[in-house]
Amino acid sequence: MVAVININGLNVSYSDAGHGAPVIFVPGVAGRGDWFSYQTSGLADRFRVITYDLRRARRTCSLDILVDDLAKLIQALKAYDAAVVGYSLGGLIALKYAVVYPDRCPGLVLCSTAPSYSRIPESEMAAQLFPDGICLPNLWRRIREAISGRRAESAAPEAPDSFLARSAGEVDRASLSARIKLMRKTDLTPLLDKVEVPTLIVASSEEPSHVLSGAQALHQGIPEASLEIIENADRFYFYTRHDLFNAIAADYLTETIAHF
């Protein structure tokens, strides 16, 4: 069930289900907490599963602000010692959180993310974050307009998985643009060797090349890191291949939390 809590003066939508060690899922650029509905239903018998929506970023959006939002949400929900699972932009938030609060984070899962996106053009990032198979025409148009100020000449067909596409379309244009700009100006490479938390890096075999190379960079740079590549899956595997992803995440989190 979705509830609302005030964090840093903002009303944040979240869900909190299950019992056991807490695990919080941090969404990506266009994602929302309900993108992790299969993790809520599939893992709540073993963990306390928390999901939430990122703040709307109408003006400025810094990584430190998003990390502070996460820290205050965990504190407000008394989800002390929560493992953190971050997807795409959420992976950057999760990684920085683990560096700032190593004593509060027993485990870290970084999904489809890279430590730096600075060399990727904004238009290319938009195309890769919202591929044709998942992007609604109006969302694609809004993203391109937000980045370039020009109308897109063509529109992607409606996604076969209408839920992800529909919910992504509800994220406002300013937030999409601000979040993409934030990813491009963030470089967490210097922090990788400071990660003291056992970390699982997950990517699909069909990720864009910079995400796959980013996953390798995370694996090589984080001292206690392991890498899992999901074969024959798109980059929304947490939804489209949720049984497999849940099994991978549950096995890893059970082991790491037990040793915390």
Residues 28 and 95 in one domain: yes
Sheet with 108-111: list strands edge to edge: 2-7, 10-17, 48-52, 22-26, 83-87, 108-111, 199-204, 225-230
Domain range for 17: 2-115+189-258
What are the φ/ψ torsions at residue 196 (nearest 5 degrees)? -95, 0
* Number of domains within the chain: 2
163 and 197 share one domain = no
88 with 203, same domain: the answer is yes
pLDDT digits (tens, 9 = 90+) for 38-72: 999 999 999 999 999 998 866 667 999 999 999 99
**Within this chain, do residues 76 and 193 fall inside the same structural domain, yes or no?**
yes
| pTM for the model | 0.87
| Residue 184 lies inside a defined structural domain of this protein | no
Last residue of a domain, one of 179, 207, 224: 179
Confidence band of 20 (pLDDT split at 50, 70, 90): very high
More confident: 126 or 206: 206
Q: What is d(CA 84, CA 110) in angstroms, rounded to the nearest whole number? A: 8
pLDDT, residue 63, reads 95
Per the model's pLDDT, the better-predicted residue between 72 and 143 turns out to be 72
Q: Which of 137, 159, 179 is the last residue of a domain?
A: 179
Provide the CATH number for the domain around residue 232: 3.40.50.1820
Lowest mean pLDDT among 57-66, 114-123, 161-170: 161-170
Claim to verify: residue 13 and residue 111 sit in the same structural domain:
yes
Q: Give 197-231 pLDDT, tens digit per residue.
A: 999 999 999 998 889 999 999 999 999 999 999 99
**Is 104 found in the same domain as 26?**
yes
**98 and 159 both lie in a single domain:** no
- In a shared domain, residues 203 and 135: no
Of 15-24, 31-40, 154-163, 222-231, which gets the smallest average pLDDT?
154-163
Token code pair at residue 8: 């840093």
Share of the chain above pLDDT 70, in %: 80
